[in-house]
Structure 1
Amino acid sequence: MLRKLLILSVFAGASASIPVVYQSNPRIFEDLLKSAVTAKPGAETQPEASLASVPDKPVAPLPTGRKVVVAADGRGHFSSTFKLNGRQIDGMIDTGATLVAVNTSTARRIGLSLNPSDFSHEVSTANGVIKAAVVMIDRLQIGSISVDGVQAIVLDDKALRTNLIGMSFLNRLGKYQAENGTLLLVQ
């Protein structure tokens, strides 16, 4: 698994410039498409391009109907902004996580009130076995994709610093595919 993540990180880093160029200058792609359709044989045009550096913050998803494209960040992770129960949160898409996982601070922000007795399930994490509460998120959204009734777990803030969007969300999509430094989500 670590080897796959390392290989994916190398590919993501090498190809991360394509979505960055698109986001910094989307007209270049429109101009290329227009010139390809209207170009006369033998006539060539060169659009101007400005390359941008990879941003430190999560790249916002590019909505394309009921599809969303998430670009890999500088570390090769697919981080983005999501809405859980209508509240905006930052998270990382993690195909190694069985469930969506949020920390207790996020759970409070999205309207989940938990008692200490709710933390009755043991889960295995990268940091060992810890107690968790199993909850249901009414609605999880990213871009134009929305899934209702997503099972999740809540972990202590110390155990989970980054909210994880796991397989309990991804399995409800029609398709998800990582390729060339982007993750395509299709509902």
Structure 2
Amino acid sequence: MLRNLVVLGGIAVAFAAVPVVFQSNPDAFHALFSPAPRDEAPASTVAAVHPVTAQPLGRKVSVPADARGHYAASFRLNGRQIDALIDTGATLVAITSSTARRVGLSLNPADFRQSVSTANGVTKAALVTLDRLEIGRISLDDVQAVVLDDHALQTNLIGMSFLNRLEKFQAKDGELLLAQ
């Protein structure tokens, strides 16, 4: 009986340690449980956004500049993937109304009462708080943002309301380093 309790206790401790191990080294954890690479080449796809390369230590992400020198990447907004342009000239994160609907934000026409200046002129926007905005292993909760009509904003923008909450963001040698 005592032997069974000791074995059961060991199993319980092992299961309790899984979150700690995952948080301290998620890359090793993912490598352990990801399928083995296959020899065949994947089907080629055309993507508008460069892939994001996560750094091996800490919560860092490196975003390469595109041919125009812009930093575009895939983010997760409230758990859904979105493509966005990182814009240090934008005060807030700005998303299109169609993106807002896709990530579960329900807005009425009366919510669009804030006047904002954009590259395309002055327009109306709805001020919102995003539950969670993530890129790689960087994750921020309660990020201030504005929602603009799809005609007023061509692409989602990751502005200073996200970037200022990071430990560091730095452009160097054609890459933008984000660190939390």
When the two structures are superposed, what TM-score results if normalisation uses the length of structure 2?
0.72
Contact 1:56 1:73 in 2 (8 A): no
Unmatched tracts of structure 2, length 5 or more: 1-45
Partner of 2:88: 95
Determine which of 31, 39, 48 is the counterpart of 1:57: 48
Gap runs ≥5 in structure 1: 1-54
Equivalent position SS for 1:136: strand
The number of residue pairs the alignment matches comes to 133
Q: Which runs of 4+ in 1 moved over 3 A?
A: none
What does residue 116 of structure 1 align with?
A: 109
- Give the aligned partner of residue 172 of structure 1: 165
| Contact 1:57–1:73 under 8 Å retained in 2 | no
Q: How does 1:143-158 map to 2 (within 5 A)?
A: 143-158=136-151
In the alignment, which residue of structure 2 is the partner of 1:134? 127
Deviations, residues 10-42 of structure 1 (Å, cap 9, x unaligned): xxxxxxxxxxxxxxxxxxxxxxxxxxxxxxxxx
Which of 71, 75, 78 is the matching residue for 1:78? Answer: 71
Question: Once superposed, what is the RMSD of the aligned Cα atoms?
Answer: 1.1
Cα distance between partner residues in 2 of 1:75 and 1:147: 28
1:67 CA drift (Å): 0.3
Q: Aligned residues: percent identity?
A: 66
Give the match's secondary structure for 2:100: helix
Please give the TM-score of this superposition, normalised by the length of structure 1: 0.69
Distance in 2 (CA, whole Å) between partners of 1:125 and 1:89 is 21
Deviation at 1:74, TM superposition (A): 1.2
Kindly name which structure, 1 or 2, has the bigger radius of gyration based on alpha carbons: 2
Q: CA deviation at 1:56?
A: 6.4
